[in-house]
Amino acid sequence: MITELGHFSLILAFLVAIIQAVVPMIGAQRRNAAWMAVAEPAAAAQFFLTLAAFGALMWAFVTSDFSLRLVVQNSHSAKPMLYKISGTWGNHEGSMLLWVLIVSLFGAMAAWFGGNLPPSLRARVLSVQAAIGVAFFAFILFTSNPFLRLAVPPFDGQDLNPLLQDPGLAFHPPFLYLGYVGLSMTFSFAMAALIEGRVDAAWGRWVRPWTLAAWIFLTIGIALGSWWAYYELGWGGFWFWDPVENASFMPWLLAAALFHSAIVVEKRESLKSWTILLAILAFGFSLIGTFIVRSGLLTSVHAFANDPERGVFILAILAIFVGGALTLYALRAGAMEARGVFGMVSRESALLINNILLAVACFVVFVGTMWPLVAEMFLDRKLSVGPPFFNMAFTPFMVVLGLVLPVGAVMPWKRAKLGRAMRLMAPVFVLALALAGLVWVMQTGRSLLGPVGLFLGAWLVMGAAVDLWLRTGRSGAARLLRLPRADWGKAVAHAGFGVTVFGIAGLTAWQSEDIRVAQLGQPFDVGGYTLTLDDVQDGEGPNYFTTTGFVTLAKDGREIAQLRPEKRVYPVAQMPTTEAAIDQSLARDVYVVIGDRQDAGGWAVRTYIKPLVNWIWIGCALMALGGGLSLSDRRFRVAAGARKTSAVPAE
């Protein structure tokens, strides 16, 4: 019964979305206030109906209702409750429902909090947002309906892919989707502005928080995914340049470019048409990402739906929205006149450099991801584009970005003197260089990657500190805490970028590895640590069998930790997984994986010493925190509530 109600409310939401897409748009065109006003209740109704549908599906998963095909395919009665809940979106149909739920959530947020938007702009934004919703409701109802029943329900389900039964991964998709779909809001704003034919500082101010929020969610989602890959896949990699990872990385890069260029629109009324184009492309890449994952066109670990029909449907959505948007852009972009005047060297031009580097880096990732397909279709060459390519072709852009960032960040608007900005940063530059030199001397004879990464990291972090200090002007430390949150946000996020760079370089340059057959009770040394495999025991979890190794980790004869690497087999899904045991610290991780029992006695054991690895995710967290600080800046809230503020009498 609940399932049918969910199905029904999904269909109702689809119908409401159609009305919301059509009526307010016509109303805005004809300046009819009543028609425009339809958008607001429709957005709310659409959200609550979709929420009801999603709730119904979740209920089916929680109660293990095996008359639903989707639940049978992706759940099992013995599965822990957390994964029953996360199983709702751990599959194609459910994740699309989550996707469309978030589309309608953002629409409803724009309806509720967009009170100070001009009515026609708001009507158009909500209408475009609903049009995106319509496309995805249709996709769900016609090709991937989660509410289909089975005539003969089986006794139990087929279980969720065991790799996905993990707390990190339970929350990875919702964050990622909040990010992907958050960009739909920016897209709707861009479309509305193009239809309206007006982009001004106010538009920039409305768009920026949405983009920033989407970017924060993408950052968290990507970091969670990377962290999961690190501890779950069993060899401690954190990034694989997998097509699906790239699919989330490209919108992230463009979103980062977008909220930087939106600053220029807001403060200086320049770069308008470029910002609109970025908004279209950022959401376009979100759709391309969805297409890549769902069509199975580029096979990868994540692709759960290899269905050509679905692929074609999403390709059609992509063509209509991005094609339509670009056509509209080509027709209208010329009308957007830039107002601000600025010199060749200025904060505007520094932000332009940021945009170029991020956008071109995104382009490189895109070409690399699509190249195997292009080569096979047009050149008849079957080839692979893997991590070595991306590391070589992508990294230089990030290095240059890191080099110019601190100097660009302290440049004033309109007209800057490069010499002055560089003088301000010179002490920090020298200090970072000295640190790198010190490390280079200490590590003797290893790759330059470590020192270079350390230099960049130190330069970025200290540069951010100098930037913050300069903002206080002459009043010094007293003012530091009273600076606007946006200043703190900027410094924290920039420092976070530096910290991530530092972590990646340190890990890549200095990690060490050991593979051996370990005999029970016989200690062995890896990179200054002594490990002993004390015991290996078989056990049983809620829905899996496990082989657990008991490893003692010691340094200089002193015990540091007891590690429990596991090897699990999920009998229902018939899949083995490895659960690495990790002794974490800020300086290094000791990462132990247990393998098979050897015929000649003993167990295969892999040990990695991974220096600085945790800084990668600490940096990501700092970037997200910086974004959050910026988002909480009073100036955004003041703008949002401008209509309500009462007049203050003049003194």
162 vs 164: CA distance, rounded Å: 5
The tokens of 26 are what?
């016509």
CA atoms within 13 A on the CB side of 430: 5
CB of 538 to another protein, least distance (A): 15
**Which part of the chain contacts another protein (CB under 8 A), choosing from 178-186, 213-221, 231-239, 616-624?**
231-239
Token representation of residue 217: 């969610």
* CB of 298 vs another protein, minimal distance in Å: 9
Note whether 243 binds another protein by CB under 8 A.
Answer: yes
Of the two residues 93 and 242, which places its CB atom closer to another protein in the complex?
242
Restricting to residues 388-447, name those near another protein by CB under 8 A.
Answer: 388-389, 392-394, 397
Nearer Cβ to another protein (368/503): 368
- The minimum distance between CB 241 and another protein, in angstroms, equals 8
Report which DSSP code applies to 474. G
List the one residue from 368, 451, 503, 627 that touches another protein (CB under 8 A). 368
Q: Compute the CA torsion angle 35, 38, 39, 41 (nearest 10 deg).
A: 170
Residue from 312, 316, 379, 430 in contact with another protein (CB under 8 A): 379
The four Cα atoms 100, 257, 365, 319 give a dihedral, to 10 degrees, of: 40
Shortest Å, Cβ 168 to another protein: 20
Angle of helix 324-332 versus helix 172-196 axis, rounded to 10: 40
| E strand or H helix at 470 | helix 449-471
Instruction: Render 251-308 in DSSP notation, one character per residue.
Output: HHHHHHHHHHHHHHHHHHS-SHHHHHHHHHHHHHHHHHHHHHHHH-SS--TT-----H
Alpha-carbon distance of 267 to 467, in angstroms, equals 19
Least separation, in Å, of the C-beta of 339 and another protein? Answer: 7
Query: Among 375, 449, 466, 560, which residue sits at the site for another protein (rule: CB under 8 A)?
Result: 375
CB of 509 to another protein, least distance (A): 15
The end-to-end CA distance of the chain, in Å, is: 65
**Token match 């979890």: residue?**
541
Piece in contact with another protein (CB under 8 A), picked from 100-108, 184-192, 210-218, 509-517: 509-517
Nearer to another protein, 255 or 398 (CB): 398
Minimum separation from the CB atom of position 522 to another protein (A): 14
Supply the minimum distance, in Å, between the C-beta of residue 487 and another protein.
26
Distance of alpha carbon 338 from alpha carbon 268, whole angstroms: 9
**Pick from 136, 130, 110, 120: nearest CA to 26:** 120
* Residue (15 or 326) nearer to another protein, CB: 326
Q: Could you write out the DSSP letters of every residue in 88-132?
A: TSSSHHHHHHHHHHHHHHHHHHHHHH-TTS-HHHHHHHHHHHHHH
Check binding of 522 to another protein (CB under 8 A).
no
Residue 452 · residue 458 · CB < 8 Å? no
Q: Is residue 367 close enough to count as binding another protein by CB under 8 A? A: yes
Query: Smallest distance, Å, CB 598 to another protein?
Result: 8
Site for another protein in 153-212 (CB under 8 A): none
Structure tokens at 399: 């290095």
The two structure tokens encoding residue 273: 């048409």
User: Which alpha helices (H) appear in 88-242, and where do they start and end?
Assistant: 92-113, 119-143, 167-170, 172-196, 201-232
Asked if 546 touches another protein (CB under 8 A), the answer is: no
Q: Report 3-22 residues binding another protein (CB under 8 A).
A: none
Q: In terms of CB distance, is 99 or 329 closer to another protein?
A: 329
Q: Which of 242, 467, 487, 633 binds another protein (CB under 8 A)?
A: 242
135/351 with CB nearer another protein: 351
The 443-482 contact track toward another protein, x by CB under 8 A, reads ----------------------------------------
Report in angstroms how near the CB of residue 187 gets to another protein at its nearest. 22
Identified binder of another protein from the candidate list 371, 413, 469, 524, rule CB under 8 A: 371
Question: Using alpha carbons only, how large is the chain's radius of gyration in Å?
Answer: 27
Residue 562 CB neighbours (<10 A): 12
Report the C-alpha gap between 504 and 457 in whole angstroms: 10
Nearer to another protein, 82 or 341 (CB): 341
Site track for another protein across 326-365, x = CB under 8 A: ------------xxxxxxx---xx--xx--x--xxx-xx-
Of 301 and 431, the one with the shorter C-beta distance to another protein is: 301
Tokens standing for 123?
A: 């009507």
Q: What is the contact mask toward another protein in residues 257 to 276, using x (rule: CB under 8 A)?
A: -------------x------
Q: Which residues face 531 on adjacent strands?
A: 524, 553
Judged by CB under 8 A, which of 567, 581, 611, 617 binds another protein? 567
Q: Which is nearer to another protein, 78 or 517 (CB)?
A: 517
Question: What is the distance of C-alpha 359 from the center of its chain?
Answer: 16
Using the minimum distance from each CB to another protein, give the nearer residue, 59 or 240. Answer: 240
Instruction: Provide the 3-class DSSP secondary structure of residue 156.
Output: coil
Residues in 583-642 at the binding interface with another protein, rule: CB under 8 A: 593, 595-596, 598-599, 604, 606
Question: In the complex, what is the shortest distance from the CB of residue 224 to another protein, in angstroms, rounded to a whole number?
Answer: 20
Least distance in Å: CB of 235 to another protein? Answer: 6
Q: For residues 285-304, which are near another protein according to CB under 8 A? A: 299-301
CB 275, min distance to another protein, A:
13
Give which of 468, 496, 495, 494 is closest to 483, Cα–Cα. Answer: 468
Q: What crossing angle do the helices spanning 485-510 and 614-631 adopt, rounded to 10°? A: 170
Query: Which residues form the interface with another protein (CB under 8 A)?
Result: 234-235, 237, 240-243, 270, 299-301, 338-344, 348-349, 352-353, 356, 359-361, 363-364, 367-368, 371, 375, 379, 381-389, 392-394, 397, 515-517, 567, 576, 578, 593, 595-596, 598-599, 604, 606
